[in-house]
Structure 1
Amino acid sequence: METLSFDSSSLDATEEFLSRAYTPMRIGGRPQETGARIERRAVGELVVDKLHFDYTMAYDAGSLGKVCLITLHRGTLADTTDGRDEVYGPGDTFLVAPPDRPYTGEVRAARYTITMFDPALLDQVAVVGADRAGPVALTGARARDAASNRRLGSTVAFLRDHVIDTPDAGGLVVATAARHLAAVTLSALPNSAADDEPRPADNRDAGTRTLRRAIDFIEENAHRDIGLADIAAAAFVTPRAVQYAFSRHAGTTPLAHLRLVRLARAHRDLRAADRRTTGVMEVAATWGFAHPGRFAAAYRAVYGTAPSATLREGS
């Protein structure tokens, strides 16, 4: 895990730090109050920062090269890119700018969370058809509706509080959480994949042979960081076709089946583990489950008992 902390009342030092941590940036104006605090936690390609500015700060920044989501907790942020004046307030979770575009704006005495990830993750989780050309792109900054905004904000909070800040977070836990964030981002924000219409080839390829190939791949690779795009490629079809195959012939989705396989592996390992040397969440984390309560609920729904009871019985 990479950690980074910054606390300063110097505008010059703040500008230098922001330029190093994000992208070349210029702070406009010379406010009287100049306190800035930033804390970074990063694992792999996933970055979660907590920021607090005591003053109003205008900025002019270069492109980030990453999907950058901001969740505001206090104060406001105005996006002034290309002449806009879009103001966000507490509770809003939004895209600060497209990954490949410079941006300008103003942070107004704000406390907020920044979450960044590789844009390639969007392609890995997108449900697209056979004729899509080019990468999936986010086409709007605000969530489609209030429910989408809440879902995106709660996903960021989960990453911040239960994944990144967990001392032993890493491996499959972080990879699974990052893919989940990318999928929720696509479901919440306008994007080019949302307009992708189903193609006849996707319906034709959504048969039982596709389902069997996909299931075999999941069974053999559940321990790895895999997603929808990997499953579809292994089945030699598009992501939409493999989604159709699971829906029609198994009544589920590829990623739901992947979670069920990983839950079964966790169940197997809990039965074989020694409770004197192994904890429930150690096993859960091995299979990509980060939240104790959610893991326990999913486990009980399938096996009718708590994971801790299985661990005791197996010792």
Structure 2
Amino acid sequence: MVRTQPRTPVPPTTGGAVHTLAGPSATTGAGGAVHTQPRTQAPPTPGGGVVRTEFRTRSAEEAGRFLGDAYGLSLRLRAAADGPEYSLLRTDAGAFAGGAVSLPARMEFTTHEVTALTVVTMSAGLFERSAAGVDERFTAGDVLLVRPGGRPCFARHTETRCTTVNLSAALLTEAAATADPRHPGLPRFLRSIPSDAPLARLWTRTQDFVAETLASGLTSNLVLGQAGRLLAATALTVFPNTATAGGPSPEDGTRDASPGTLRRAIAFIDANAHTDISLADIAAAVYVTPRALQYAFRGHAETTPLTYLRRVRLAHAHADLKAADPGAGATVAAIATRWGFAHQGRFAAAYRRMYGTSPGATLRG
């Protein structure tokens, strides 16, 4: 097994870059089909900032081109109307991206290539698609996958509004290895809809939580890493896939769940808590599977690896609050974000449970 190297931490990002793009206000009807090719996505910058892009146009051709570019689709527009304002607000966090899409008219297209996995949550309108003889209809409240590969697909949007989440192959591969190391590699999704309604609601709640985190304007290397892994793990829980199709074997990981494994893992966490380490990183560093690592913490420390990691980071935040000078501009929010605590209310509650006071009181001395 290859030992992981801790990633270099970066300071918190406040808000990220914002790009506003506008297509032409109107175009004359083009008689021929419009083809778009998917853009090759740049690799995520470790801990890189959040980039927000807002695109608006009244041109159906421009809308189709931009959507294909943003979502890794090779589109061929078949029918669409100029006039209504099409829009896409996209928040790119490197390994994952969120979007809010408005297609206020009727848009029909075929797609011959899909290069990015996208989870779509419908909020209004109608989305219909047909592929391999299977017809599907999605309306407000429905959650669905657009999966890489697959067969050519016909799609029709009618006054659609939806939110989207793109997940990188790296995130999904890491989540799959954590879920079941017996099935390494990129998981294959077996269905394009959640297993049941409660799981669809789980996805919606997770997506909303991450969106609120990004919208807060305070993000850091640790916050973005945790958010991406949360989305990928939730996708594997919600949608049937090859990584979670079989349950764990009874003996899986128990042999390596020793006190020595626990000691080595604690030492690694203590030395690298300031970096964006995951469960998979910790397991790789001590040469065991993620499940063996979890067994070691549960059996010998009555906790989990990630719970212990949060405690260590909370202790670092406590030390920074005690040492900080509020008169020089130090804030609870900035220190919490630095140590991976995106939700200020949850951070304050955890801090009070551990230290018996509020973070603000500690900062003020």
Q: Same fold, TM exceeding 0.5?
A: yes
User: Percent of aligned positions with the same letter in both sequences?
Assistant: 38
| Structure 1 position 68 matched with structure 2 position 118 | yes
SS of alignment partner, residue 54 of structure 1: strand
More deviation, 55-64/14-23: 55-64
| Secondary structure, aligned partner of 1:40 | strand
For residue 87 of structure 1, report the CA deviation from its aligned partner. Answer: 2.2
Compute the displacement of 1:287 (Å): 0.9
Residues 79 and 109 in structure 2, CA contact (< 8 A), matched pair in contact too = no
Map 1:180-195 → 2, pairs under 5 A: 180-194=230-244, 195=246
Cα deviation for residue 237 of structure 1 reads: 0.8
* Change in 2 beyond 3 A, CA 1:48/1:200: same
In 1, the alpha carbon distance for the partners of 2:166 and 2:210 equals 11
Q: Which amino acid aligns with 1:88?
A: F
Offset at residue 167 of structure 1 (A): 3.2
> Could you say which structure has the greater relative contact order, defined with CA pairs below 8 angstroms and 6 or more residues apart?
2
Select 1:299's aligned residue among 351, 356, 359. 351
SS at match of 1:91: coil
Q: Paired residue for 2:203? A: 152
Provide structure 2 residue ranges, at least 5 long, that are not aligned to the other structure: 1-49
2:270 is aligned with 1:219: yes
Gaps of 5+ in 1: none
CA shift in 2, pair 1:62/1:269, >3 Å: farther
Q: CA deviation at 1:64?
A: 4.0
**Residues 69-78 or 23-32, more deviating:** 23-32
CA deviation after TM superposition for structure 1 residue 115, in Å: 1.1
**So what's the TM-score if we normalise by structure 2?**
0.78
Residue 129 of structure 1: how far off its partner (Å) = 4.7
1:27 is aligned to 2:77: yes
Within 1, Cα distance between the matches of 2:275 and 2:236?
23
2:223 maps to 1:173: yes
How far apart in 1 are the matches of 2:64 and 2:221? 33
Q: What's the RMSD between the two structures over aligned residues?
A: 2.2
CA shift, 1:174, in A, is 1.2
Closer/same/farther in 2, CA of residues 16 and 130 from structure 1, 3 Å limit? closer
Deviations 1:17-46 (A, max 9, x none): 223222321222234764311111212222
Question: Aligned-pair distance for 1:48?
Answer: 1.2
Whether 1:252 and 2:303 are equivalent positions in the alignment is yes
Aligned counterpart for 1:275 among listed residues 318, 323, 326: 326
Equivalent of 2:146 in 93, 96, 102: 96
Q: Is 1:2 paired with 2:54?
A: no
- Whether 1:18 aligns to 2:67 is yes
Matched with 2:101 is 51
Deviation at 1:283, TM superposition (A): 0.3
Q: Which residue of 2 aligns with 1:200?
A: 251
C-alpha contact 1:79 1:87 (8 A) present in aligned 2: yes
Residues 170 and 108 (structure 1), Cα distance of their counterparts in 2 relative to 1, 3 Å cut: farther
CA displacement, residues 40-97 of structure 1 (integer Å, 9 cap, x when unaligned): 1212222111111112222323444333111211123223232322222222333222
Contact 1:232/1:239 (8 A) holds in 2: yes
- Contact 1:130/1:201, CA 8 A, preserved across alignment: no
Any conservation in 2 of the 1:124–1:227 contact (CA below 8 Å)? Answer: no
Q: Does 2:261 correspond to 1:210?
A: yes
Quick check: 1:129–1:199 contact (8 Å CA) kept in 2? Answer: no
8 Å contact kept, 1:59–1:106: yes
State the one-letter code of the partner of 2:54. Answer: S
Give SS of 2:294's match: helix
Residues 89-144 of structure 1, C-alpha deviations (whole Å, 9 max, x = no match)? 222333222x3346442222111111112122123234345543433333222222
